Chains A and B, each alone.
Chain A
Amino acid sequence: MHSIPSVRTYVTIWVILTVMTFVTYYVAQVELGAWNIVVALLIAFFKMMLVILFFMNVKADSPLTKLFAGAGFFWLILLLGQFFVDYLTRSWMPEGKMW
């Protein structure tokens, strides 16, 4: 089995995660229009990567584990993306027409 991260590493990651939580909370109070959601999701994505790579130790894991971890995220994109292939293009139709 692979190398064991030090306590220092774990605590550092925890500090970063907690700080990012504060950041996301306070940024949400600032009016940024459509960027609010982008920033919030980017921060969430970054926090998720930290948990996956360090707390779940995927950074030191085999390529197979990385593949499965990535596949889950990718499939979620497939689901959301294809939902929006429908919902985002409905307004493109000429008024009142189905075809």
Chain B
Amino acid sequence: MSTVLQDPRAVETPNYLNQEYGWKSWLFTKDHKRIAVLYIISITAMFFIGGIFASLIRVELLTPQGDLVNSDTYNKFFTMHGIVMVFFFLIPSIPATLGNFFVPMMIGAKDLAFPRINLLSWYIYIAGAAFALAAIVLGGVDTGWTFYTPFSSTYSNTFVITAAVGVFIAGFSSILTGLNFIVTVHKMRAPGMTWGRLPLFVWANYATSLIQVLGTPVVAITLALVGLERAFHIGIFDPAIGGDPILFQHMFWFYSHPAVYIMILPGMGVISELVTCFSRKGIFGYPFVAGSSLGIAIIGFLVWGHHMFVTGMSMYASLYFSLLSFLVAVPSAIKVFNWTATMFRGSISFDTPMLYAFGFIGLFTIGGLTGLFLATLGVDVHVTDTYFVVAHFHYVMVGGMVLAYLGGMHFWWPKISGRLYPEGWAKFACLLVFAGFNLTFFPQFILGYLGQPRRYHAYAPEFQVLNVMSTAGASILGLGYIIPLIYFLWSMKYGPKAGNNPWRAKGLEWETTSPPPTFNFEKTPIVTEEAYAYHNQKETHVG
């Protein structure tokens, strides 16, 4: 990089990255921003491990026969894919990375309420991941990420306890992060930062934290009971002595349904930030978007039975859960309408973060609508445990959350690293992700409807064409993930230095240097305007 081109004013200001060097300054840090970076590295690693299992699944499914591996091994593939992606990527993803980094800054605080607990949270995550990786290396788990009993508790011959311990431990990481965010948002807002002025990203993380705190302990005790049952050969969920496998499912899904809202709400928070910035407009209906986050968090605890319609649960319970599952779609729809209304008559820029936001809105809508099909009792009897369900949740979790995560990473990368990523490559990768994703998962809706079951390594020959399309899409999608990894790393050394606010965005985090100083603000900011006050800005174009 020629020194002639470098801005002479861009001398390295003291910031959280160069404040101290050495592994001890990272592994014993209390700075929420460094902890966020530690998490970025860890969850990226787990994401690619989960992706390897996805690749193995898709390669096996190229042919109708189960010819690559036997069914037991295939069971391990989808189990490990699910466990790693759900518990070690999606659940921590945005809260532990972007949330950790930006929630304190957005509210004008110097750090989270409990910095040492924040670091502990990361160590606990690593410990949990170590157990999960140990389960993989020792030979894997084949119960499905849902650990259904009595297979998981009595009959499986794989490393169930190791995996369950890993998930149990990771749950505490999630709980502590949520606890930290709740106390921080209640107690550490800067003067003038009222609840009504909070950025929607903060509202989203706050609602997510409520779910983490209220739901995770239940899955912890559920998995603990399964582990104890396996270890001591007692039969809590074993029908042979009177145990009830449906009770396991009730306890498991009491958490795991709200968990899917942990896995989408922070992404919705990111989209609110992106849509406002790249439309140069305040959010339409702020109270409704903020309130809908809380609405999703609360109603999300009232719907878990829709995972159990065909298990033998009472039909009256099914009616109850089906009705409430329709209700929970309403707050999500409110968000989509409000984002759209925000863009209306806005000044739209098509930078990469906004492309990801567009992708999110479209794909999440499809995913969400297909959720309504699944909530409908009659339809669910037909499509449950088929690829229709697989397609639905990948639309919301990948088409939704992963796109939001990528959009957020691109948006805030200049702030986190002080560097700009290459926009051309970024747009290209975004298009690969979007095209690859749709090619992978849209055929799966059709396959599921036509009857291909999930979690089977073989299928009827007439489904092969759609399966091949799906695998082809997965390769493109994988490329779309790898390219940003490369250019983000590249940009840390060779990317142009970013100024304080390359997007000219509103928000307290943009008023500091890029990267920010360790204590975030020289002086505690005093907030006088509402969030997204873009009408107060003079210029209306970015950059």
* A residues at B contact (CB < 8 Å): 64, 71, 75, 78-79, 82-83, 85-87, 89-90, 92-93, 98-99
CB-CB contacts of B303-332 with A at 8 A, as 1s and 0s? 011000000111111001000000000000
- Asked whether A86 lies within 8 Å of B313 as measured between CB atoms, the reply is yes
Which residues of the partner chain A approach B317 to less than 8 Å between Cβ atoms?
A: 85-86, 89
Which residue of B186, B246, B247, B316 contacts A85 across the interface (Cβ within 8 Å)? Answer: B316
Determine the distance from Cα of A93 to Cα of B254 in the docked complex, in whole angstroms.
Answer: 24
Which residues of the partner chain A approach B247 to less than 8 Å between Cβ atoms?
A: 83
Q: Chain A: which residue is nearest B313 at the CB level?
A: A86
Which residues of the partner chain A approach B88 to less than 8 Å between Cβ atoms?
A: none
- Asked whether A92 lies within 8 Å of B301 as measured between CB atoms, the reply is no
Closest 10 A/B residue pairs (Cβ) = A89-B316, A86-B317, A89-B314, A90-B314, A85-B317, A86-B314, A86-B313, A75-B214, A85-B320, A83-B250
Q: How far is the CB of A98 from chain B (nearest CB, A)?
A: 7
Q: What 18 additional pairs, Cβ within 8 angstroms, besides A79-B218, A85-B320, A89-B315?
A: A64-B186, A71-B214, A82-B302, A82-B304, A83-B247, A83-B250, A85-B314, A85-B316, A85-B317, A86-B246, A86-B250, A86-B305, A86-B317, A89-B316, A89-B317, A92-B314, A92-B316, A98-B312
State how many residues of chain B have any CB contact under 8 Å with chain A.
18
Interface residues of B in 505-530 (CB under 8 A from A): none
Q: How far is the CB of B211 from chain A (nearest CB, A)?
A: 11
Determine the distance from Cα of A82 to Cα of B247 in the docked complex, in whole angstroms.
Answer: 12
Interface residues of B in 215-264 (CB under 8 A from A): 218, 246-247, 250, 254
Most buried by A among B214, B250, B305, B314: B314
- Asked whether A79 lies within 8 Å of B254 as measured between CB atoms, the reply is yes
Q: Chain B: which residue is nearest A88 at the CB level?
A: B314
On whether A93 and B315 interact (CB within 8 A), knowing A79-B218, A86-B250, the answer reads yes
- Asked whether A78 lies within 8 Å of B301 as measured between CB atoms, the reply is yes
Determine the distance from Cα of A79 to Cα of B219 in the docked complex, in whole angstroms.
Answer: 12
CB-CB contacts of B324-351 with A at 8 A, as 1s and 0s? 0000000000000000000000000000
Q: Chain A: which residue is nearest B320 at the CB level?
A: A85
Which residues of the partner chain B approach A85 to less than 8 Å between Cβ atoms?
A: 305, 314, 316-317, 320
Q: Chain A: which residue is nearest B210 at the CB level?
A: A71
- Asked whether B250 lies within 8 Å of A93 as measured between CB atoms, the reply is no
27 A-B pairs (CB sep. < 8 Å): A64-B186, A71-B214, A75-B301, A78-B301, A78-B302, A79-B218, A79-B254, A82-B250, A82-B254, A82-B304, A82-B305, A83-B247, A85-B314, A85-B316, A85-B317, A85-B320, A86-B246, A86-B250, A86-B305, A86-B313, A87-B314, A89-B314, A89-B317, A92-B314, A93-B314, A93-B315, A99-B315
Q: How far is the CB of A68 from chain B (nearest CB, A)?
A: 9
Q: Chain B: which residue is nearest A68 at the CB level?
A: B182
Q: How far is the CB of B258 from chain A (nearest CB, A)?
A: 11
Determine the distance from Cα of A90 to Cα of B244 in the docked complex, in whole angstroms.
Answer: 14
Which residues of the partner chain A approach B305 to less than 8 Å between Cβ atoms?
A: 82, 85-86
Q: How far is the CB of B183 from chain A (nearest CB, A)?
A: 10
Q: Chain B: which residue is nearest A81 at the CB level?
A: B302
Q: Chain B: which residue is nearest A92 at the CB level?
A: B316
Determine the distance from Cα of A82 to Cα of B246 in the docked complex, in whole angstroms.
Answer: 13
Determine the distance from Cα of A85 to Cα of B312 in the docked complex, in whole angstroms.
Answer: 13
